[in-house]
Amino acid sequence: VSPSAAPAELLLSAELVLSGERFRVVYTLAGEEAAAHRQADAICVEQTVEFPADLLPAGPISDGIVGHLEAFARADAGHWTATVSYAVEIAGDELTQLLNVVFGNISIMPGIRVERLELPDALLAAYRGPRFGRAGLRELLDVPARPLVCTALKPLGLSPAQLAELAYQYALGGVDLIKDDHGLADQPFCRYEERVARCAEAVARGNAETGRRCLYLPNVTAPADRLLGHARFARDAGAGGLLIAPGLVGFDEVRRLAADDRLALPILSHPALLGSFVVHPDLGMSHYALFGQIARLAGADACIFPNYGGRFSFARQDCRRLAQGTAAPLGALRPIFPVPAGGMTLERVAEMRAFYGDDLILLIGGNLHRQPEGLVAACRRFVALVSE
Amino acid sequence: VSPSAAPAELLLSAELVLSGERFRVVYTLAGEEAAAHRQADAICVEQTVEFPADLLPAGPISDGIVGHLEAFARADAGHWTATVSYAVEIAGDELTQLLNVVFGNISIMPGIRVERLELPDALLAAYRGPRFGRAGLRELLDVPARPLVCTALKPLGLSPAQLAELAYQYALGGVDLIKDDHGLADQPFCRYEERVARCAEAVARGNAETGRRCLYLPNVTAPADRLLGHARFARDAGAGGLLIAPGLVGFDEVRRLAADDRLALPILSHPALLGSFVVHPDLGMSHYALFGQIARLAGADACIFPNYGGRFSFARQDCRRLAQGTAAPLGALRPIFPVPAGGMTLERVAEMRAFYGDDLILLIGGNLHRQPEGLVAACRRFVALVSE
């Protein structure tokens, strides 16, 4: 048997035509300069052709498909900034493949961190982004200027009726957003559909008493064959938004929900299982890229993250950069709300407003249950603290 | 407005009934003993009720929903082993929620690594696991004992016709499995459907000449609303299996594909974007848990990972433990193939067989293009090397 074309001839005959439009990824590399420069060169190959560079003939693949190292410079002692550009056609219109090009294989190499994405309109055209964003969510809630106030239904272990009673009290207390705790899934002791129906009804009843527009956001994080059905059930039951953990289901599920005109609900993203991308400063992705840019590109309207000084480990500077990522220019995509959380208390509201400004969602859960005046009054105090 | 029940009364009235069946997660914690013990206690709360423990009254939630610290012991200098058990009802029958309980929020805390899962039959009953596994894939291929031989269609940038020509040559060379490079998605210069149709046809043509049963595995990693359609198209076009990157789409998409009786195709998982979970020894998950247990629980029949001594950073011991995870007892779930890859060469085949044994898939890509005898002959030599 004689093959009809030798592989080298195949490569030479590639008739690829590219637009010339490229997107850029800024990486921080840890290590010595020479090794970091070699790693930057390796990224250009690893994230694209994944093929021995010396076997690629001069031509459109080596010129256009292999990444270009656009810049390499010292960041600080032991860290280097490498800017790599990729043809927009490699990512196509797929968020899954964009993430793959940005960090797929090189996530397995130590010392590489995605610092930020620079995405041209030619790529962003494929992304609708957040349906509501900051302005749209404020309009839904009729809260033009102050921080929004959010709390969580918990603890896991309560029945749908008990959680609905909590939701009713939160709504009476005047909070803007009530989300499921992200551990509420579809447990035998608390089924998804019964919980969502009861809680949505309870919040509507609370709203009828207060005249306000509090939204209930059930957790739709679920197996692949149930997720969209959960979201549609939530919409039909009167839920006002959706909570989803992209670390558990993939960021593209956020995009699918955000783009669904039959849903048309605001989306709150939760950081579960995303921690390994950010906890080590020399690995993964920056807070800015992951919780700012990528969550927003996927279409989240607000992004929960663990605030500095809580139960988790984010530094103040991480949180500041993250918040910047929720609003920095990203084509025509709407700015979204940062939602610092994770052990926050009423005592910290003023400090958090000073740190983040008022384009902010404050999420306080367990601490509301600790207040001597009771839950409804504690919620009212929470709202009063952001209304001063 | 007077609320109908104070929150504390709600918690006291919880009428939860649990089976008593629990699953266990073994964590490795880095740090001083006292701090690690506090962290172990915190995990029990963080991964379940996420509620101030002192506000939980004695009762079924604090007894059954909060995790139990079953054991705490020194692992080595500066590392501690904490075994935490959780009620199986918390995870229900959802892989998404199981992963959330195992590592969702605590992924954001430094110094915690998931070492292994211990899952009872009461939980495993919800998982079908790998449809083929080692024995089933061997039967499909009619290769009873030697290592299986796999290669990849690449580089990105070739047209569907060019990739099909490569696939034909690989099939003529007698390899067992031909997978898409994981960077082949649905690019404008190489559309998914045309590529899959042409490559499946080319491999069938090659099989007709060789009399063998080489399988083509296209990459179905794709946006959430296209993935299942891609898989069905592949099956209808004659593809013999599927390649998917759970880091990009979520592990539950693997489970959905594996469980789909209309597909009934073997599944090869790719490690793209999973690296951040394993690259730092004090963070994320062990190679055993992630690439062994979880990939298998999801239903992958074979799991690609970067071998030691290649372009990536896994240590020999990581790879050994990973391979153990693909076959260690996990209820009735079938053992799956480890697929060490990432810059492997024909020169290393003997060494890899010695290290892993022959229940192994050897994946060599670019190196086959470097052989002076040409691609078809290089594939034949690859097969000969595993047949000795």
Q: What is the pLDDT of residues B53-76, one digit of tens each?
A: 999 989 999 999 999 999 999 999
Residue B24 CB neighbour total at 10 angstroms: 17
Note the pLDDT of residue B4.
55
Amino acid sitting at position B77: A
What CA–CA distance (Å, rounded) separates A31 from A47? Answer: 20
SS3 track for A23-90: EEEEEEEECCHHHHHHHHHHHHHHCCCCCCHHHCCCCHHHHHHCCEEEEEEEEECCEEEEEEEEEHHH
Note the pLDDT of residue A4.
55
Which of B152, B275, B366 has the CB atom closest to A52's CB atom? B366
Instruction: Quote the minimal CA–CA distance from A39 to chain B in Å.
Output: 11
Note the pLDDT of residue B1.
35
For B183-203, give the DSSP string. T-SSBTTB-HHHHHHHHHHHH
B294's tokens: 């979880």
Could you report the per-residue pLDDT of B229-266, keeping only the tens digit for each? 999 999 999 999 999 999 999 999 999 999 999 999 99
Q: Do B100 and A182 touch (CB under 8 A)?
A: yes
B21's tokens: 């069946």
Q: How many A/B residue pairs have CB atoms within 8 Å?
A: 355
pLDDT band at B13 (very low <50, low <70, confident <90, very high): confident
What CA–CA distance (Å, rounded) separates B152 from B150? Answer: 7
CB contacts, 8 Å: B245 with chain A = 100, 104
- Which residues, listed in sequence order, are joined to residue A87 by a DSSP beta bridge? A22
Residue B172 CB neighbour total at 10 angstroms: 25
CB contacts, 8 Å: A247 with chain B = 104, 107
Note the pLDDT of residue B14.
73
Q: Do B186 and A94 touch (CB under 8 A)?
A: yes
From A278, A322, A316, select the one nearest A300 (Cα to Cα).
A322
In the set A179, A182, A230, A270, the catalytic residue is: A270
Note the pLDDT of residue A5.
65
A306's tokens: 């663990």
Edge-first strand listing for the sheet containing A284-285: A68-76, A79-87, A22-30, A112-118, A284-285
Q: Kindly give, in sequence order, each residue whose CB lies less than 8 Å from that of residue A22, ignoring residues fewer than 6 positions away.
A: A68, A85, A86, A87, A88, A120
Q: Do A272 and B100 touch (CB under 8 A)?
A: yes
Residue B115 CB neighbour total at 10 angstroms: 18
Note the pLDDT of residue A1.
35
CB contacts, 8 Å: B285 with chain A = 276
- Average predicted confidence (pLDDT) for chain B: 96
Q: Kindly give, in sequence order, each residue whose CB lies less than 8 Å from that of residue A192, ignoring residues fewer than 6 positions away.
A: A185, A186, A218, A222, A230, A233
Amino acid sitting at position B280: H
Q: Do A154 and B49 touch (CB under 8 A)?
A: yes
The beta strand positions in chain B, using DSSP E, are 22-30, 68-76, 79-87, 112-118, 148-153, 177-180, 215-217, 242-244, 267-269, 284-285, 302-306, 337-341, 361-363
In the set B79, B154, B179, B230, the catalytic residue is: B154
A227's tokens: 């997720």
Instruction: Give the pLDDT of chain A (388 residues) as one tens digit per residue.
Output: 344 567 778 887 778 999 999 999 999 999 999 999 999 999 999 999 999 999 998 999 999 999 999 999 999 999 999 999 999 999 999 999 999 999 999 999 999 999 999 999 999 999 999 999 999 999 999 999 999 999 999 999 999 999 999 999 999 999 999 999 999 999 999 999 999 999 999 999 999 999 999 999 999 999 999 999 999 999 999 999 999 999 999 999 999 999 999 999 999 999 999 999 999 999 999 999 999 999 999 999 999 999 999 888 799 999 999 999 999 999 999 999 999 999 999 999 999 999 999 999 999 999 999 999 999 999 999 999 999 8
Please state the ipTM of this predicted complex.
0.97
Contacts 24+ apart (CB under 8 A), B49-52: B49/A154, B49/A155, B49/A156, B49/A157, B49/A183, B50/A154, B50/A155, B50/A156, B50/A181, B50/A183, B50/A365, B50/A366, B50/B105, B51/A154, B51/A155, B51/A365, B51/A366, B51/A369, B52/A366, B52/A367, B52/A369, B52/A370
Instruction: Quote the minimal CA–CA distance from A140 to chain B in Å.
Output: 25
Give mean pLDDT, residues B128-155: 98
**H-only helix segments in chain A:** 7-12, 33-46, 60, 88-91, 95-103, 121-124, 133-141, 160-172, 192-210, 227-237, 246-249, 251-259, 275-278, 287, 295-298, 316-325, 349-356, 375-387
Instruction: Quote the minimal CA–CA distance from B85 to chain A in Å.
Output: 16
- B270 has catalytic annotation: yes
Q: Do A165 and B5 touch (CB under 8 A)?
A: yes
Alpha-carbon radius of gyration of chain B: 23
**Residue A81's Cα: distance from chain center in Å?**
24
Minimal-distance CA residue of chain B relative to A103:
B273
Note the pLDDT of residue A22.
98
Which of B99, B223, B275 has the CB atom closest to A96's CB atom? B223
- B179 has catalytic annotation: no
In what helix (H) or strand (E) does residue B278 lie, and over which residues does it extend?
A: helix B275-278
CB contacts, 8 Å: B224 with chain A = 224, 250, 252-253, 255-256
Q: Which of B38, B65, B100 to mutate to test the interface with A (most CBs of A within 10 A)?
A: B100
Instruction: Quote the minimal CA–CA distance from A20 to chain B in Å.
Output: 13
Q: Do A222 and B61 touch (CB under 8 A)?
A: no
Is the CB of residue A339 less than 8 Å from the CB of residue A363?
yes
Is the pTM higher than 0.95? yes
Is the CB of residue A276 less than 8 Å from the CB of residue B277?
yes
Note the pLDDT of residue B227.
98
B198's tokens: 């042409």
Minimal-distance CA residue of chain B relative to A209:
B1
Which of B92, B224, B272 has the CB atom closest to A185's CB atom? B92
Instruction: Quote the minimal CA–CA distance from A339 to chain B in Å.
Output: 15
Cβ burial A273-298 (10 Å sphere, 16+ → b, else e): bbbbbbbbebbbbbbbbbbbbbbbbb
